[in-house]
Chain A
Amino acid sequence: MLRYALKRFLSLVLSLAVASLIIFFVIEIAPGDPATFMLGINAQEDTVAALREELGLNGTKLSRYLSWVSGMLTGDFGTSYTYRTPVAQMVADRLKVSLPLAIFGLLLSVLIGIPAGIYAATRRGKGGDIAVMGATQLGVAVPNFWFAMMLVLLFAIKLRWFGAGGFPGWDKGFWVCLHALTLPAICLALPQAAILARVMRSSLLDVLGEDFMRTARAKGLTHLQAVWRHGVRNAFIPVLTIIGLQIAFLLAGAIIIEQVFYLPGLGRLIFQSINARDLIVVESVVMLLVFSVIVVNFLVDLAYAAVDPRLRSRE
């Protein structure tokens, strides 16, 4: 196990290194000098030079890449070109909205998708199955930001159960904030729940055909007991893979949904930064998104190896 974990860890570090190189050099291609941009075109030459020094823009590409990476390792993401505040602080502030939203969305998608998938599998070929499968086809096809607009029309404008957008801030209380994040989280969960339901259904159907399911029935369990104790548990492995993938991509999904609900999350930060050409912020947020995907995949792999020894010996 330790050897496997070590090997996976090395490949994690390598992936992060390659990804950071790609991000750094793509950003490097961008035209224009950040220091001139910050000070305006009428700035004195020596002021620009001083600022370049302060921002660490001098030096070779390699030395700047290394200082960027070592900075990130110690939690220093640099200073925003437009706001002159630490990027780490800005990102942390925005994550207070985006991260809870992503987690809320994940919870909803699991709570909806898994029971729906189990239900469909146990009703295979009957009306309930067909209805759930039809709903999942729709759930995958509906753009979730469009669904968000429709929910705003219905629940915020017509019924007035929810606000049309905005975020009160966590100091206004947990439930107020949860309420504000409910519609966005539902939209974020919609396609994910549909995918989870499909994977859960097909995985459970595979397991239901296994010999041990017949044994479980033969030893006197009712069909539902057998499905629950032996079927669902065994069917969970592929479902966990999908959930792992979803965790990583929910943060990116949240960025788009935030735009519909005017939430002050990572999304707003990144689009403002793109428009302001505040590339150091863009660089850090993209790295953060990629980092979360790679690390989550790493953790999922480790969790599997801990549970299933066969996966360890394969490498």
Chain B
Amino acid sequence: MNRNMILGGGLSALMISGALLSLVWTPYDVALLDIPNKLQTPDAQNLLGTDHFGRDILSMIMAGARTSLGVALLAVAIGLAFGIPLGLLAAARKGSWLDELIMRGNDVVFAFPLLAMAILITAVFGPSALNAIIAFGIFNIPVFARTVRGGALSLWEREFIMAARVAGKSSIRISFEHILPNIVNLLIVQGTIQFALGIQVEAALSFVGLGVQPPVPSLGRMLADAQTLVILAPHLAIFPGLAIILIVLGLNLFGDGLRDWLDPRLRMARS
């Protein structure tokens, strides 16, 4: 374990448990409007103040972070579900037309800026959290496919894989039984980074109206609502933004620390 891992892990664990806690408890009900109590600055009743509908901002952040984390998690899952088989297949058939096709396909998808993908999908199917998940999910596929292919290619040169081939195992079986377990580390590190990116993507897409739609709270939606009121009530923007920063910072630090920790070359250099 190293400092980044502990610091980042602690920070993300704290933020994620706050979000999970909102499943069973929040200080106030986020579905309840209390207009007379709107735009309160932070005090003893509402630790982070209230928004334009009089909803408690701390409760909104807890519930909103849950949505944001969910969006990011599902998009990473889509990337893994498609990226792993594609990457494994490309590595197993290295240099063949199939490998070439998969990698060229990756390049084309990769040329779509995330926002362009989200705009295209939203323009056709209408804005929704699901479409934001699909856009970021598609964006993740080439990311994971490349990670998997890169990791798998170097493994295919190794002796224990050679032994499995000599034993007569098919390349599909080798890919899933021997290659995949050995690149799990790479996937966890990349997954953590994409997960952190997903929190920011949700925020950005919801901010411009392409993501989560009202009345569902999300960190990005809260910032979108805050934009017109930011001069009147800065705390509406400040706190959800800080929540995003803390989650992303925590996950990124954790990912960096994990990568260093899992890389034996770096570990040996330290000791």
Question: B244 near A19 (CB under 8 angstroms)?
Answer: no
- Residues of chain B contacted by A248 (CB below 8 angstroms): 113
- Residues of chain B contacted by A270 (CB below 8 angstroms): 119
- Residues of chain A contacted by B122 (CB below 8 angstroms): 274
- Residues of chain B contacted by A260 (CB below 8 angstroms): 227
Among candidates A142, A252, A279, residue contacting B116 with C-beta atoms closer than 8 Å: A252
B194 at the interface (CB under 8 A from A): no
A18 to B105, CA, bound (A): 9
Report B75 CB to chain A, min CB distance, Å: 17
- Residues of chain A contacted by B196 (CB below 8 angstroms): 141
Report B93 CB to chain A, min CB distance, Å: 20
User: Residue on A with the closest CB to B115?
Assistant: A252
User: Residue on A with the closest CB to B240?
Assistant: A146
A-B contact count (CB 8 A): 121
Whether A290 touches B112, Cβ cut-off 8 Å, given contacts A141-B249, A274-B122, is yes
A62 at the interface (CB under 8 A from B): no
Report A215 CB to chain B, min CB distance, Å: 24
B200 at the interface (CB under 8 A from A): yes
Interface string of B97-130 (1 = CB under 8 A from A): 0000000100110011111100111111001000
User: Residue on B with the closest CB to A153?
Assistant: B234
A30 to B237, CA, bound (A): 35
Interface string of B242-263 (1 = CB under 8 A from A): 0011001100110000000000
A131 at the interface (CB under 8 A from B): no
Question: A259 near B207 (CB under 8 angstroms)?
Answer: yes
- Residues of chain B contacted by A67 (CB below 8 angstroms): none
A286 at the interface (CB under 8 A from B): yes
Whether A286 touches B230, Cβ cut-off 8 Å, given contacts A137-B252, A146-B237, A256-B204, is no
A43 at the interface (CB under 8 A from B): no
Report B222 CB to chain A, min CB distance, Å: 10
- Residues of chain B contacted by A142 (CB below 8 angstroms): 241, 245
**Which A11-27 residues sit within 8 Å CB-CB of chain B?**
11, 14-15, 18-19, 22-23, 26-27
- Residues of chain A contacted by B90 (CB below 8 angstroms): none
Among candidates B112, B121, B223, B230, residue contacting A152 with C-beta atoms closer than 8 Å: B230
B203 at the interface (CB under 8 A from A): yes
Question: A15 near B207 (CB under 8 angstroms)?
Answer: no
A291 to B34, CA, bound (A): 49
Question: B119 near A146 (CB under 8 angstroms)?
Answer: no
Interface string of A26-51 (1 = CB under 8 A from B): 11011000000000000000000000
B85 at the interface (CB under 8 A from A): no
B208 at the interface (CB under 8 A from A): yes
A297 at the interface (CB under 8 A from B): yes
**Which A127-150 residues sit within 8 Å CB-CB of chain B?**
137-138, 140-143, 145-146, 149-150
Return the 5 tightest CB-CB contacts between A and B, nearest first. A252-B113, A146-B241, A141-B248, A141-B249, A289-B116
Residues of A bordering B, CB below 8 Å: 11, 14-15, 18-19, 22-23, 26-27, 29-30, 137-138, 140-143, 145-146, 149-150, 152-153, 157, 164, 248-249, 251-253, 255-256, 259-260, 267, 270-271, 273-274, 277, 279, 282, 285-286, 289-290, 293-294, 297
13 A-B pairs whose Cβ atoms sit less than 8 Å apart in the complex:
A15-B107, A137-B253, A138-B249, A140-B248, A141-B245, A143-B245, A149-B237, A149-B241, A259-B208, A274-B210, A277-B123, A279-B124, A290-B113
